[in-house]
Structure 1
Amino acid sequence: MNTDINNCCGTKRITTALLLAAGTGSRLFPLTKSSPKCLTLVNEKSILARLVTNLKKQGFKRLVIVTGHEQKCIVDYLGDKSGDLNIEYIHSPLYKTTNNIYSLWMAKNIINEPFVLFESDLVLSSTLLDDMVYPDRMAVALMQPWLNGTTVSIDQTNMVTQFQQGTSDSYSDIRYKTVNIYSFSLQSWQAIVKRLNQYIEAGDVNCYYETVFSEMVDSKSLSLNSVSFDHKPWYEIDTIEDLAKAELLFPVPEQKVVRHENSIV
């Protein structure tokens, strides 16, 4: 996708990111017993540090983080600024009994501009965000046997046409795994907030935000253009096994050897 086309059409780059980092990361225990999932190290660099680096490379100016489990660790680690990136926090006191739909809803009063939504368990190359910094897009990857979770169908114009919860049933069409990175225009976000409010007011705080996105795509009140992450370096880390696989994709950079007269550093 040519970003020059986006610019000439008047679509501005997004400079605000929202990170949902409230969960306990129970499937990564014991690594997350006293630390949030986003501070898990992937070859000596945390998931959160990798994301912040990627955001700064892409010119983001604002990062809002919804915290919960061990939130003080995140605040102490990042502070309120990293280079030109301003960092703000929203604490979800109900993180133990709610799911990501509630975390997303928590951001309704603090974000009033286009933004990119991230989950706290993703590692990826910063170049993958090149086409995600424009509104109303969704990262996807062609479904593979070792992947699981929510999938979507897309049409010939790369628009998302339907969400499917889980992948246990057989299917004949081509499915794409959600990578859990979304970008939203202000208009889309305002429509999403209205639907989120309905769920929260009804007490439905323990489901996934994909339920809302799915309903809105079905009713054509939300349009998302898919961005392919196929055969590109990204990984979703839910378990210790996932972490091991991610470390194969993102190895420790080789250190340059500097030779001095009596030593090597």
Structure 2
Amino acid sequence: MKAIIIAAGQGSRLLPLTLETPKCLVPVGGRAILDHQLRAVEQAGIRHAVVVGGYRVEQIAEHLARHGGAVATDLIFNPFWAAGSSIGSVWAARACLNDPFVLMNGDTVFDAGILAAAVNDERRGVKLVVDTLDEPEPDDMLVEVASNRVRAVGKTLDTARATHRSLGVVASKGGGAYADALRAVIGAADGIHAFHHAIIDRLAGVDAVAAVTVPRDAHWQEIDRPDDIERWRREHGA
């Protein structure tokens, strides 16, 4: 199994922290977001990570060259990172998608157990890691889950239908379903501007996505704004 880390964007909402630094290298609690993720990848038993970079990719390359963990890393450049949405980075890593993989957004820190749960889930096909929704927040990727299956995903999903929020973590034991859905979504009108969750939404329409719900006491946080970094520091004493 490979980990695929989508880390091509600048992270404009983190400005000025990302003025000269890619979002995935912004420090949170003394460690770059990317290093938090690589540590979780290692603890989940994965030994190979593919990082998709774009904005200031040379800094990511230098950072990975200094990385001394047990996880081997490859860097893929997405030259269209500024012209499209996150689906373009998934497309850049499409050669990895027929084999077992776990894919994650490059701006989220989480307990290593969350990633391990997705990797170790024995259900066949594609899985999306979700958290139970108490009160929607403006940036949430909303998810409808019923009978442990994902039924719909989207930022504009009717909140009356939404039961969960996505962590941006997708896992697959292998097979062509996810890659086929990627080609269909990105090839549609304006598909290059779709979030990669549109792939999951398409698969959910044919009952092809299982939901992996994180425990209530599990901790994760998307790092979108400077306030998110401060919140993480307060909660972790770092």
Same fold, TM-score > 0.5, yes or no: yes
Q: Which residue of the partner structure matches residue 155 of structure 1?
A: 146
The structure having more radius of gyration, on CA atoms, is 1
Residue 31 of structure 2 corresponds to which residue in structure 1? 45
1:12-161 correspondence to structure 2 within 5 Å: 15-79=1-65, 82-134=68-120, 136-145=126-135, 147-148=137-138, 149-156=140-147, 158-161=148-151
Helix, strand or coil: the match of 1:89? strand
The correspondence of residues 203-214 of structure 1 with structure 2, limited to 5 A, is: 204-214=191-201
CA contact (8 A) 1:20 1:65 kept: yes
Return the letter of the residue paired with 2:200.
Answer: F
Distance 1:72 1:29 in 2: 19
CA gap 1:246/1:160 in 2 versus in 1, 3 angstroms: same
Q: Which string of whole-angstrom CA distances, capped at 9 and with x for unpartnered residues, describes residues 65-121 of structure 1?
A: 110001111110112864331101110111111111111111112454111111111
Q: How does 1:180-199 map to 2 (within 5 A)?
A: 180-187=168-175, 190-199=176-185
Q: Which residue identity is paired with 2:166?
A: T
> Distance in 2 between the 1:96 and 1:231 partners?
36
Task: Give the letter for the 1:150 counterpart.
Answer: M
Deviations 1:119-151 (A, max 9, x none): 111111212223111363221112133634221
CA root-mean-square deviation: 2.1
How far apart, in 2, do the equivalents of 1:206 and 1:36 lie? Answer: 20
The gaps in structure 2 that reach 5 residues or longer are: none
Residue of structure 1 in register with 2:206 after alignment: 219
Residues 66 and 89 of structure 1 are in contact (CA less than 8 Å); yes or no, is this contact kept in structure 2? yes
CA contact (8 A) 1:147 1:177 kept: no
**2:25–2:60 CA contact under 8 A, matched in 1:** yes
**Code of the aligned partner of 1:145:** E
- CA separation in 2, counterparts of 1:185 and 1:20? 19
- CA–CA distance in 1 between the matches of 2:137 and 2:217? 13
Paired residues, what number? 232
TM-score (normalizing by structure 1): 0.80
What is the Cα deviation at residue 50 of structure 1? 1.1
Distance 1:145 1:22, change over 3 A: same
CA contact 2:52–2:89 (8 Å) conserved in 1:
yes
Percent identity for Structure 1 against Structure 2: 23
| Compared CA separation, residues 216 and 137, structure 1 to 2 (3 A) | closer
SS of 2:95's partner is coil
Structure 1 portions without partners, runs of 5+:
1-14, 253-265
Q: Which amino acid aligns with 2:184?
A: Q
